[in-house]
Structure 1
Amino acid sequence: MVPSLVHRGKFSLLYDLAFTSDKIDSTIPFDIEEKLLPFQRDGVRFILQHGGRVLLADEMGLGKTLQAIAVTSCIRESWPVLILCPSSLRLHWASMIHQWLRVEASDILVVLSQSSSSNKNGFNIVSTMTKKDIKLDGMFNIISYDSVTKLQHTLMSSDYKVVVADESHFLKNAQAKRTMASIPILQKAQYAILLSGTPALSRPIELFKQLEALYPDVYSRVKDFGERYCKGGVFGTYQGASNLEELHTLMKTTVMIRRLKKDVLTELPMKRRQQVFLDLGEKELKNTKAIYQELEIIKNNIKSSQSKEEVDSLKFKEKHLLNKMYTESAEAKIPAVIDYLGTVIEAGCKFLIFAHHQPMVEAIHQFLIKKKVGSIRIDGSTNASARQSLVADFQEKESIKAGLLSIKAGGVGLTLTAASTVIFAELSWTPGDLIQAEDRAHRIGQVSSVNVYYLLANYTIDDIIWDAVQNKLENLGQVLDGEESSMEVARNSAITISSKQRTLDSFMKRCNSPNGSEAKSKCPRF
């Protein structure tokens, strides 16, 4: 049965076929095009051939950010670009744009809620606390969803032809202020690219505002959408699910492209690393920056000293300060790490997160409890007899979403392949510790590519440890393998989520009856 929505005849204008495959491939800068995997090139073609108004719903970890950046490279005549994203991803977007498009750092404007002390790359940072009349005059303008409400008038009065909404499921709630403020901005743009590996977290009604943002003339009546696709719920008219196969087909025909890791696994490297740069405020970095200054003084004194005894004494002080910096960095990063985890948790993924210091481990543990996320915790206080039981819970129970592990205690002897996402809240001075920890998920039994995310912050110990780890690995590679080695960081990945996430595709498998009868019997009650 063809949906009544299609009968309105409005889909004839959906596609802008001016972008042929040949034109797309010749428009993408070579240094981007050569890094795109085949399915990513297909994604860029799909977006442009569909008029640049698309929901890119690839499973997280398949490079949605890079595909969106590649699209913007094909439509430079329509710049400037507006990026809407969760607060934890603002600097990540800035770094990716700077890295891939070679846009001057000063042309990338990032709106923060407070003054930033983590801007070593020289991005144009403005704060909503220090400036009330913000001019969004960057070539790329990056703001969080929470800031859209404050800046809606400015955004609506600006002529942004290209708008990217990352993690667009943040707009699933029609009553939320950020949704009401963001939708008109997306509707006004010529090109609106929505990115989400989980566009519907639990029920089809969560899709409506995203679809309305792309095609308000087609998806204009929530009543029609709800009656057709959202029946069967016990809490309200639009809390259920019905005619899901039809909705899936409709979306894929019109606005959505979605690929799963299991379907493109042969095109992916087995393990991919991503640096995620956190934004820390002046308050969090007060102690670490003070230590930095002391370290610089000691380093200069070591270089100028003529006495071995003095050098030894200075190196002892340097080691003491580095240990102090290690501890202070953990404390400083806690709020930003928690903020980042909030995004991961909302997506519903199964993941491992590694930390070193107890304050960080405890803060993450309490956050998981607060968010009612099923989890296991393995650190130095976990006795050996309990470990295997915890591992079994993580591997076998769908309700257990997070594995919280200390780098030392949880980095060896454990098989945790139920997760394909590994996050490091902190670093270790020993590269082998990090690789061992990564391989809790990247080992025999893993069926998906493993995506590893290192949460780093400037003006913390991360600046020092990351370089040290690289140097150590290069040296080890020369000795053991006869060639340099490194912790290669992939430049085409995004936040990942496990393949067991509950999205529209899982609805398709479990609730495939057009009349919704099977949906009621097979699907969980929403």
Structure 2
Amino acid sequence: MGLGKTLQAIAVVSCVRESWPVLVLAPSALRLHWASMIQQWMNIPSSEILVVLSQCSGSNKGGFKIVPSNTKKSIHLDGVFNIVSYDTVPKLQDLLMASTFKVVIADESHFLKNAQAKRTSASLPLLQKAQYVILLSGTPALSRPIELFKQLEALHPTVYKNVHEYGNRYCKGGIFGVYQGASNHEELHSLIKATVMIRRLKKDVLSELPQKRRQQVFLNLGEKEMRQVNALFRELEVIKGKGKSAQSEEEANSLKFAEKSLISKIYTASAEAKIPAVLDYLGTMVEANCKFLIFAHHQSMIDSIHEYLLKKKVGCIRIDGSTPSALRQDLVTDFQEKEIIKAAVLSIRAGGVGLTLTAASTVIFAELSWTPGDLIQAEDRVHRIGQVSSVNVCYLLANDTVDDIIWDVVQSKLDNLGQMLDGQEKSLEVSTNQSHSSPSKQKTLDSFIKRCNNSPQDPSKKHCRD
């Protein structure tokens, strides 16, 4: 996450030229970024850098060889460096397996965390077939140890060969589903460090990087905005009560599914409730006239923020899941180089990976993500190589909403991931000086439901193997 993993991978690959050509697997948004980095650091013609794109629109200032993935004609991966997105791998699986790629780089390898995903099942044989494999990720597991397994299997299948053995040892304790928990952290950390992982932290690599300061800003939501959220929490209380008295396993599972579905609705309702207060806070940022990033998850929140900034005539860029990957780098360049562009409106998932936005030093989260890795990745669009100012990260939270639950879930997951990957506990540490005072926050879902029930009744490495 801004520590130079791309450059390190290019350096490693330059040492095994006899095994070229090279295959690079990357998220869609990072394909042209990889091409640019290879062109910058390797002494090879840009025409020998092949990029497979589904759409050929957008700029190709580097002169790379662009191959459309949606053509009916046969595709030839004949570049010295061949860059393919994870989503394209299943479509090109036969062609890729027939090719002789002895060197494979998989960037943001946590994209392979889901064993059932087509991109995972299609990518794994490519990785296991290669002589040299480099997996790159600042957050190889985003939430829990099971997300590591396919990456570990790709690198060292003789050690990590049985998902059930791995799951029973390292993934106990989950509530929603098998192998969703975490156990034996220290042992797993020692094992992966001894076999496949090189883990470098910012404090080790970038000793002069300015500090990152997190702050919780508590929003005041009106009774009208909170009505739907409170109603959903009371409904959730009823379902949890039925779950405790379930007469059969089938009934208990059905109620657990209903509980999970209702929490998702509360997540959405909380976003809707926060919109007016988030926009009010944004007014202070607009008046400050400084560059900032603002992240959100729900489309309604992203749309409201973007429309607000346009209404205020604030120069801004927007990157979400609908932004073509070929245009994202141009938007990033505009933000980095144009003083008139003050804000970047980003979705946590689409805008939180592979972008360098160090022209800003303020990051705002209008919403939380259930996945701690997504939050850390998003923060580090600013806190990375090239940053010269202290970074301020503001989490806009609202009491008595889903934020109370997610914050504690994220902290718990980070604790597990920190012990597993770094051998030490980790958390989203925040400054003790808050912009707004906060009443005591509940630590469990049950205690929140209890409080709602008393209220007025208003109608979610890198390693080189040889």
Task: Please tell me the TM-score bracket, short chain as reference.
Answer: 0.5 to 0.7
Please name the residue that 1:151 is paired with. Answer: 92
Q: In the aligned structure 1, how far is the partner of 2:12 from the partner of 2:180?
A: 35
Please name the residue that 1:430 is paired with. Answer: 339
Q: Identify the match of residue 215 of structure 1 among 141, 156, 163.
A: 156
User: Contact conserved, 1:219 with 1:225, CA < 8 A, in 2?
Assistant: yes
Superposition pairs of residues 141-220 of structure 1, within 5 angstroms: 141-220=82-161
Residues 92, 375 of structure 1: CA spacing in aligned structure 2 closer, same or farther, 3 A cutoff? Answer: farther
Residues 230, 101 of structure 1: CA spacing in aligned structure 2 closer, same or farther, 3 A cutoff? Answer: same
250-259 or 424-433: which moved more? 424-433
Give the deviation of 1:164 after TM superposition.
0.3
Residues 249, 270 of structure 1: CA spacing in aligned structure 2 closer, same or farther, 3 A cutoff? Answer: same
Letter in 2 for 1:430: E
Letter in 2 for 1:205: I
Give the deviation of 1:523 after TM superposition.
12
Please name the residue that 1:246 is paired with. Answer: 187
SS of corresponding position for 1:242: coil
Residues 61, 376 of structure 1: CA spacing in aligned structure 2 closer, same or farther, 3 A cutoff? Answer: farther
Letter in 1 for 2:158: D
Residues 65, 427 of structure 1: CA spacing in aligned structure 2 closer, same or farther, 3 A cutoff? Answer: closer
User: Contact conserved, 1:212 with 1:219, CA < 8 A, in 2?
Assistant: yes
In the superposition, the TM-score normalised over structure 1's length comes to: 0.47
Give the deviation of 1:216 after TM superposition.
1.2
SS of corresponding position for 1:438: coil
SS of corresponding position for 2:51: strand
Indicate the percent of aligned positions where both proteins have the same amino acid: 56
Letter in 1 for 2:135: L
Please provide the CA RMSD for this pair: 4.7
Q: In the aligned structure 2, how far is the partner of 1:386 from the partner of 1:430?
A: 14
Q: In the aligned structure 2, how far is the partner of 1:431 from the partner of 1:383?
A: 17
Q: In the aligned structure 1, how far is the partner of 2:99 from the partner of 2:333?
A: 39
Q: In the aligned structure 1, how far is the partner of 2:15 from the partner of 2:82?
A: 18
Letter in 1 for 2:174: G
Superposition pairs of residues 251-270 of structure 1, within 5 angstroms: 251-266=192-207, 268-270=208-210
Give the deviation of 1:92 after TM superposition.
0.3
Please name the residue that 1:122 is paired with. Answer: 63
Please name the residue that 1:465 is paired with. Answer: none
SS of corresponding position for 1:185: helix
Residues 381, 230 of structure 1: CA spacing in aligned structure 2 closer, same or farther, 3 A cutoff? Answer: closer
Q: Identify the match of residue 93 of structure 1 among 24, 29, 34.
A: 34
Please name the residue that 1:81 is paired with. Answer: 22
Superposition pairs of residues 340-419 of structure 1, within 5 angstroms: 382-384=282-284
Residues 120, 429 of structure 1: CA spacing in aligned structure 2 closer, same or farther, 3 A cutoff? Answer: closer
SS of corresponding position for 1:175: coil
User: Contact conserved, 2:50 with 2:77, CA < 8 A, in 1?
Assistant: yes
Give the deviation of 1:132 after TM superposition.
3.8
- In the alignment, structure 1 residue 102 sits paired with structure 2 residue 11: no
Q: Structure 1 unaligned segments of length 5 or more: list them.
A: 1-59, 272-367, 389-393, 395-400, 412-422, 442-449, 454-488, 492-496, 512-521
Q: In the aligned structure 2, how far is the partner of 1:233 from the partner of 1:143?
A: 35
User: Contact conserved, 2:3 with 2:206, CA < 8 A, in 1?
Assistant: no
Q: Deviations over 1:118-158 (max 9, x none)?
A: 21211010001224421111000000001100111111111
Letter in 1 for 2:22: V
Q: In the aligned structure 2, how far is the partner of 1:165 from the partner of 1:130?
A: 24
Residues 121, 523 of structure 1: CA spacing in aligned structure 2 closer, same or farther, 3 A cutoff? Answer: farther
Residues 379, 237 of structure 1: CA spacing in aligned structure 2 closer, same or farther, 3 A cutoff? Answer: closer
Please name the residue that 2:397 is paired with. Answer: none
Please name the residue that 1:228 is paired with. Answer: 169
User: Contact conserved, 1:379 with 1:410, CA < 8 A, in 2?
Assistant: no
How many residue pairs are counted as aligned between the two chains?
293
Please name the residue that 1:64 is paired with. Answer: 5
Residues 76, 436 of structure 1: CA spacing in aligned structure 2 closer, same or farther, 3 A cutoff? Answer: closer
Q: Structure 2 unaligned segments of length 5 or more: list them.
A: 212-266, 289-293, 295-300, 316-331, 344-356, 364-378, 388-392, 395-409, 427-442, 446-459, 461-466
In the superposition, the TM-score normalised over structure 2's length comes to: 0.53
Q: Identify the match of residue 140 of structure 1 among 73, 76, 81.
A: 81
Give the deviation of 1:232 after TM superposition.
1.2
Q: In the aligned structure 2, how far is the partner of 1:369 from the partner of 1:383?
A: 23
Superposition pairs of residues 465-504 of structure 1, within 5 angstroms: 502=414, 504=417
SS of corresponding position for 2:25: strand
Q: Deviations over 1:148-188 (max 9, x none)?
A: 00111111111111000001111111111000000000000
Give the deviation of 1:191 after TM superposition.
0.4
User: Contact conserved, 1:172 with 1:210, CA < 8 A, in 2?
Assistant: yes
SS of corresponding position for 2:124: helix
User: Contact conserved, 2:35 with 2:83, CA < 8 A, in 1?
Assistant: yes
Give the deviation of 1:254 after TM superposition.
1.0
